Amino acid sequence: AQSVAQPEDQVNVAEGNPLTVKCTYSVSGNPYLFWYVQYPNRGLQFLLKYITGDNLVKGSYGFEAEFNKSQTSFHLKKPSALVSDSALYFCAVRGVYTGGFKTIFGAGTRLFVKA
Amino acid sequence: DSGVTQTPKHLITATGQRVTLRCSPRSGDLSVYWYQQSLDQGLQFLIQYYNGEERAKGNILERFSAQQFPDLHSELNLSSLELGDSALYFCASSVGREAYEQYFGPGTRLTVT
């Protein structure tokens, strides 16, 4: 089965500290992986993606993600957290199905950055 | 602002009724996706249209239907509404049909009473 797991419901970090939001996946074939962020009462915003190439992917707002094929992980990272980074973060994978592709989202991880 | 628009922002209706949600994709995007977000189910993919044709189907109930028009806007029709249909409904769009990065609208919050 194709799936995405975000093992932490919530991550708390102090402003200025590095942050990591974890994601593991299971997919047939080559993984196409994404991170999205959702602020309160807003739609999801695309942050970054991994399709192929360098395992470290850089995205918007200083975020980056590390693809690890052996561990089937795609963790989101930022060297120095900001209070404004507090939001709901979704990891997603493109799953292959008969006749097309579907994006499967994880359950989301709520990030709290304390001043 | 993603460039994807959805109307209405809020909708309150009664059980058994039918509603239509509307989405206009970003300029140049040919794919439209519909998602349902609820506290218990998370973000669930419903359906994708590409250039007017159904491309992929997810967990869409038979009471729900969608279409994409020649001008590429899309409508999601929800009928025989139940209390459990109360959720945020998001539309997203992308350039191609291969479900790469998607750009989400602000959502329509549906409350069924």
What secondary structure does DSSP assign to B20-55, as a single string?
EEEEEPPTT--EEEEEEEETTTEEEEEEEEETTEEE
State how far residue A49 is from chain B, nearest Cα, in angstroms: 7
The answer, for B38 touching chain A at a CB cutoff of 8 Å, is: no
Is A98's pLDDT higher than 70?
Answer: no
Confidence category of residue A96, pLDDT binned at 50, 70, 90: confident
The answer, for A108 touching chain B at a CB cutoff of 8 Å, is: yes
Q: Is residue B47 within 8 Å of residue B66, measured between CB atoms?
A: yes
What average pLDDT does range B80-90 have in this prediction? 96
What average pLDDT does range B81-109 have in this prediction? 93
β-pair type (B19-24, B5-7): antiparallel
| Gyration radius of chain A's alpha carbons | 14
State how far residue A100 is from chain B, nearest Cα, in angstroms: 6
The answer, for B96 touching chain A at a CB cutoff of 8 Å, is: no
Pairwise CA distance, residues A51 & B65, whole Å: 31
pLDDT attached to residue B54: 93
Is A97's pLDDT higher than 80?
Answer: no
Can you read off the two tokens belonging to residue B52? 């007017």
Chain A residue with Cα closest to B107: A43
CB contact under 8 A, A44 and B98: no
Sole residue written with tokens 């009664």 = B14
pLDDT attached to residue B72: 96
CB contact under 8 A, B48 and A32: no
pLDDT attached to residue B39: 84
Pairwise CA distance, residues B74 & B59, whole Å: 18
CB contact under 8 A, B103 and A103: no
Confidence category of residue A29, pLDDT binned at 50, 70, 90: confident
Residue A46: name the closest of A90, A79, A112, A95 by CA: A90
Is A79's pLDDT higher than 80?
Answer: yes
Q: What proportion of chain A, given as a percentage, has pLDDT over 90?
A: 77
Least confidently predicted of A73-87, B22-36, B93-107? B93-107
Cα-based torsion angle of the residue sequence A31, A50, A97, B102 in order, rounded to the nearest 10 degrees: 160
